[in-house]
Amino acid sequence: MLITSVVWAESYSGALPEKLYVVGDACEAGWSRDNALEMQTESAGIYVWEGALTAPDDPASEGGRRFKFLVDRSWSISLTCDINTTTVQHEVIVSGEPCMLYQKGENEGKDNAFMVPETAIYSIRVDLTGDDMVMTCTKAGEVVVLKPDLSQLYLVGDAVNGWNPAGVAMTYVEEGVFVWSGTLADKGEKNFKFLNESGTWNKTIVPDGGRDVVFTPGGTYDLLYRPGENDPGDARFVVPEAGEYYLLVDLNAMILSLDYAKPTSGDLFIGGAAVSDGVDVWAMREVEGGIFTWSGQISAGSTGVFYFLTEQGRLNRSIHPAGSDVVVEVETEYPLYYRPFTASPYDFYFSVPESGVYTVDVNLNDLTVIVEEGSVTGLPDAACSDAYSLQVGHGTIQLQVADGQSLRHVALFDLGGRCLCRYADVKQVVQIKENLPVGLYVLKVLDGNGQLSVQKVLVK
């Protein structure tokens, strides 16, 4: 809740403070009392300060971008907007107009705060000498935003190099975008931040908000640029557990994204127009720990591409060729690149020189793939789903869906890998194919739970 006028006022209780400080996420200090910005004492009980204040995106929300005043960098006594209500309210200042202040104890009253109507440079004058405590906040100029250099970025901290100011260079992807993959926190304290220039503690990039942040793999965090070594807002990222991590920094948006450096889901899917057959992705079969295989029809052509997903239905945490698009040569090993985020670089794809049946083997332990010419007859039977049963005879294949079940996709292939028919959203009996010549066929069924069955069917 916010207001634009005050209700009542009071004089300062106690000896006038020697020092007064500005605190809040509308200013550089954040809500850290240690980083609170000292005001100049003009005379006893009168304090002045000038600096940048940031306006909230939505003043009516309960989000951030507010400020108030601290006595002696302590929460014991704060001065904030003079609101006499039973609920928390916040006051949007009007430039140049006085605002009455309220003296609040740490565990007393409502935690009100001030907001500015627009981001700018403001001059603040606090007068505690009269019968009423008064704060005047006046717009003094436009904000000059100092921005980081978009051509270089370095990691620094106990988690990576023991706070050596030389830093560890991140890989430049494009203007303002950098990635790094490696071990964090294998010794020492588990924290780090970024340097925009090697060899100096000026120009650091830290978590926004003035507090250390314990990151969660898969998370995204706002960043703050600190041009000077002694600028307020210093903070660090804290590693929750030592391990291999992937970092993506976008200095244009001032965002850090972090995840594990290698897939952790335990599943793998092959997707793309080259293998879709009307299905978004096909589940690959795990042969042994971290090694997966899949055999089936792969189509060539300008749109016939494929790649790998570690989570069905999500485009992040995907796996692609490393460095460029690849038209595969059979029995050739290719390196893979893990893309934890959709914004990760190297959004490349595999394709085949001509349509046919192939076997694709992926090793997630060393991130490699080999594609071989395959045969549908060489397909192993995947465990058949309880969601359906088959009846085969006289050139006909009939599929019966179990009660309460449904099948997302059903497809029948001949030995050459040619799709003879396909059905979607099957919920009852379906005559898959009639008048089939005697021979061996392959049936692929994706049930309602996403479980893939690959089954050889002999028609007599």
Length of the chain: 460
pTM above 0.75, yes or no: no
CA 206 from centre of chain: 17
Report the pLDDT value the prediction gives residue 417, as an integer from 0 to 100: 64
Report the pLDDT value the prediction gives residue 7, as an integer from 0 to 100: 38
Would you tell me which CATH number, out of the four given (2.60.40.3620, 3.40.50.410, 2.20.25.90, 2.70.98.60), belongs to the domain 2-141? 2.60.40.3620
Find where tokens 């924290």 sit: 191
Find where tokens 């070594």 sit: 229
Report the pLDDT value the prediction gives residue 185, as an integer from 0 to 100: 83
N-terminal to C-terminal alpha carbon distance within the chain: 76
Q: Following DSSP, what letter does each residue of 233-249 receive, concatenated?
A: ----EE-SS-EEEEEEE
Report the pLDDT value the prediction gives residue 83, as an integer from 0 to 100: 64
Kind and range of the H or E run holding 293: strand 291-298
Would you tell me which CATH number, out of the four given (3.30.70.260, 1.10.8.60, 1.10.10.10, 2.60.40.3620), belongs to the domain 154-260? 2.60.40.3620
Distances from the Cα of 49 to the Cα of 18, 31, 52, 95, angstroms? 15, 17, 10, 15
Report the pLDDT value the prediction gives residue 152, as an integer from 0 to 100: 96
Q: Give residue 177's identity as a one-letter amino acid code.
A: V
pLDDT in tens, the chain (460 residues): 444 433 344 789 889 999 999 999 888 888 888 989 999 999 999 999 999 998 887 776 665 689 999 998 889 999 998 765 555 578 899 999 999 998 988 888 778 899 999 989 999 999 999 888 999 999 998 877 678 999 999 999 999 988 999 999 999 999 999 999 999 986 667 899 999 999 999 899 999 988 999 999 999 999 999 888 877 789 999 999 999 999 999 999 999 999 999 888 789 999 998 987 655 678 888 888 888 988 888 888 777 899 999 988 788 899 999 989 999 998 899 999 999 998 888 899 999 999 888 889 999 988 999 998 865 544 555 556 788 888 888 888 888 888 888 888 888 877 766 777 888 788 888 887 778 888 888 888 888 877 777 788 888 7
Neighbours of 421 (CB within 10 A): 13
Report the pLDDT value the prediction gives residue 224, as an integer from 0 to 100: 94
> Would you list the domain boundaries of the chain?
2-141, 154-260, 269-374, 381-459
Kind and range of the H or E run holding 167: none
Report the pLDDT value the prediction gives residue 307, as an integer from 0 to 100: 95
Report the pLDDT value the prediction gives residue 296, as an integer from 0 to 100: 81
Would you tell me which CATH number, out of the four given (2.30.40.10, 2.60.40.3080, 3.40.190.290, 3.30.300.130), belongs to the domain 381-459? 2.60.40.3080
Report the pLDDT value the prediction gives residue 25, as an integer from 0 to 100: 86
Residues ≥6 apart with Cβ < 8 Å to 314: none
Q: Is 432 helix (H, G, I), strand (E, B) or coil?
A: strand
CATH of domain 269-374: 2.60.40.3620
Q: How far apart are alpha carbons 53 and 24 in whole angstroms?
A: 10
